[in-house]
Amino acid sequence: MKNMNNSLVWILVGSLLLVSVTGCIQSADVSSEEMVIETYTGVLTELPDATKHLFDTTHSFEDETGNIIYVRSLIYDLYDQLYNDALIRVNGVPRNVEGRKTLTIDKIEVVEENISKNEIKFDKHTNQKLGLSLDVPTTGELNETSSKIEIANLPGTITLSVVDSADLIKVNKDLESAVAIKVGVDAVDGYEMDNIPMGEAFRYYIKRNDETYYLVSYKQNGDVATDRNLAEEIVNSLRFVPFAEENVEMVKEEVVAKPEIVPVENNVVTVTNDPIDPKILENFRALESLPLEFTAYYPKSWYYAQVENGYAFALDSVTDDNWVAYINVGKTLNVELKKDWVQMSKDVGGKSFVIYGAADLTSKLEVILKTLTLLNN
């Protein structure tokens, strides 16, 4: 009887061990299903610095079907030129992070080098009506209206337009389900839409301010991975520039024997509204005037100081007699005009601004005035 009891005990213990082992095996199976290694073929694109922290990744990877995965590698240097402009095959365990597919690459193989048939060249294009500059491929077909830029033959078509103010309610609703990203050279706020029309590869909203949004979409032609990469490169070249103003005017004073205050309305000459070359703006920096509530760009080599209802500029520390330019809020300047100096005027948001300076600095004065905007805009 005692032996039978011992046998029952051992049977019970064995059963429990079997259940325990079976449970472990099942748990291992579940874990292995969650850690499936997958293989993808496509191309790498470096992410903008401001975007990398969002998913703890360094590059985006577009597979041959056009799907985008955010990737990194603890083993391989993804910045290596070997992977630049190459079709590659990668292995790793995909994960979902904040609704986006991410992958830590454990293995990488170059399938084909130099997949671009020809080196793509770009022209810098500025549209001050839209307040934007961007790189346009020389092979692209550029079409513009007052509210839209369209670049075709990429081979797909990228469209960038200003969202009508009447549609801002819809925009705010769309943003509720969008993924926050950073866009362009200056990493401005962008939002990637998840639910997009059929045929589009991506759709973004780009925020300029609370009242101004841009809509960027790309209709892809075919399933070539480099197709979307080219469109993404155009988007990443975007940069805000000052909006064109139609009421910039220049007035050259009459030569008088004695300096005097001259109203802006005299001898009005219309100044060209040609867009400002972004390369020129590289030599300018922003002046933000909280007291007078405006901002404008002035040459980096200049100095400035607030004087009464405006600002004086000089090539060295500003004194009473070394001014080369002066900007004033109001229709009339509170300084004496000098021979061969010019005046230019501009109205912004109900305020009048006048700039006054040496004639040989006219181009710089024009940039200052064209870039002037109110801080509350």
- Neighbour-count burial for 163-184, b at 16+ CB within 10 Å, e otherwise: beeeeeeebeebeeebbebbbb
| Alpha-carbon separation of residue 75 from 104, 107, 108, 125 (angstroms) | 9, 8, 10, 40
| Token pair of 12 as six digits | 């019970």
Over 50: is that where the pLDDT of 208 sits?
yes
Q: Which residues pair with 182 in a beta bridge?
A: 189
Query: Residue 193, SS3?
Result: coil
pLDDT value of position 244: 59
Name the nearest CA neighbour of 164 among 214, 121, 122, 119.
214
Q: For a pLDDT cut of 90, what percent of the chain falls above it?
A: 8
Name the nearest CA neighbour of 238 among 368, 131, 371, 367.
131
Cα(146)–Cα(159) distance, integer angstroms: 13
Cα(287)–Cα(368) distance, integer angstroms: 10
Fold of 122-240: Protein Transport Mog1p; Chain A (3.40.1000)
| pTM tops 0.85, yes or no | no
* Of the options 3.30.2010, 1.10.10, 2.60.120, 3.40.50, the CATH number for the domain spanning 249-374: 2.60.120
Total count of residues recorded for the chain: 377
Q: What contacts 24+ positions apart, CB below 8 Å, involve 262-265?
A: 262/333, 262/337, 262/343, 263/331, 263/332, 264/331, 264/332, 264/333, 264/343, 264/345, 264/352, 264/354, 265/331
Average pLDDT on 41-59 reads 78
CATH H-level superfamily of 38-112? Nucleic acid-binding proteins (2.40.50.140)
Over 80: is that where the pLDDT of 377 sits?
no
Q: Which of 13-27, 202-216, 309-323 has the lowest mean pLDDT?
A: 13-27
Domain segments of the chain as ranges:
1-30, 38-112, 122-240, 249-374
Residue range 21-36, pLDDT digits in tens: 444 434 333 334 467 8
Residue range 245-257, pLDDT digits in tens: 433 443 333 332 3
Average pLDDT on 132-154 reads 86
Residue range 93-136, pLDDT digits in tens: 998 887 788 999 999 998 887 665 456 788 888 887 888 888 88
How many CB atoms neighbour CB 122 within 10 A? 16
